[in-house]
C-alpha cells in the first residue's frame, strides 16, 4: 500500500488497472494497455493491480467490478472507468484529465 501511494503521488499520470487472473475481460486489456503505452510512452505510467492479491487497495478504492481503471496524478484520483475500453479511448481520457499532456 505504501509503495502504491508513492507511485500515484507523481506528476506523471498513472493508469491503474484493477484486475483479476480469473477475469476474461481483464485478459483482453493487456494488449490494449500495451497500445496505450506505445502511444503515450513516458507520458503515462501503467500499473496493474490484482484485486485478489491487493485486497486492501481494492477495498480503499471500492473496486466492485473488474476490470476497473483509475487515473491518478499528484496523488489525486482524476478518473474511473469500468469494463474493456479501446486504446484510443483510454489515451484520450488520459490526455484530457492530465495536466501534463
Q: Where are the domains of the chain?
A: 2-96
Query: 7, 23, 46, 47: which one is catalytic?
Result: 23
Q: Any alpha helices (H) in the chain, and if so which ranges? A: 2-8, 24-40, 55-60, 87-97
Q: What is the pLDDT of residue 68?
A: 98
The residue-averaged pLDDT of 1-8 equals 87
Q: Judge whether residue 100 has pLDDT over 60.
A: no
85: how many CB neighbours lie within 10 A of its CB?
18
Confidence at 98, pLDDT banded by 50, 70, 90:
confident
- 23 included as an active-site residue: yes
CA distance 58 to 69: 11
CA distance 34 to 87: 8
Q: pLDDT of 28-43, one tens digit each?
A: 999 999 999 999 999 9
Query: 26, 49, 70, 91: which one is catalytic?
Result: 26
- 26 included as an active-site residue: yes
CA distance 100 to 94: 10
pTM: 0.93
Let me know the angle formed at the C-alpha of 47 by 45 and 50, rounded to the nearest 5 degrees: 175
The residue-averaged pLDDT of 61-72 equals 96
Average pLDDT, the chain: 94
Kindly report the CATH number that applies to the domain delimited by 2-96.
3.40.30.10
Q: What is the CA radius of gyration of the chain?
A: 13
Amino acid at each position: 500500500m505504501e509503495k502504491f501511494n508513492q507511485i500515484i503521488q507523481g506528476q506523471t499520470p498513472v493508469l491503474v488497472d484493477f484486475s483479476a487472473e480469473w477475469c476474461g475481460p481483464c485478459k483482453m486489456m493487456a494488449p490494449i494497455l500495451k497500445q496505450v503505452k506505445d502511444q503515450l510512452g513516458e507520458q503515462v505510467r501503467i500499473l496493474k493491480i490484482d484485486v485478489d492479491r491487493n485486497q486492501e487497495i481494492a477495498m480503499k478504492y471500492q473496486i466492485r467490478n473488474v476490470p476497473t481503471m483509475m487515473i491518478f496524478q499528484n496523488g489525486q484520483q482524476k478518473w474511473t472507468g469500468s469494463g474493456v475500453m479501446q486504446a484510443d479511448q483510454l489515451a484520450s481520457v488520459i490526455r484530457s484529465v492530465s495536466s501534463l499532456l
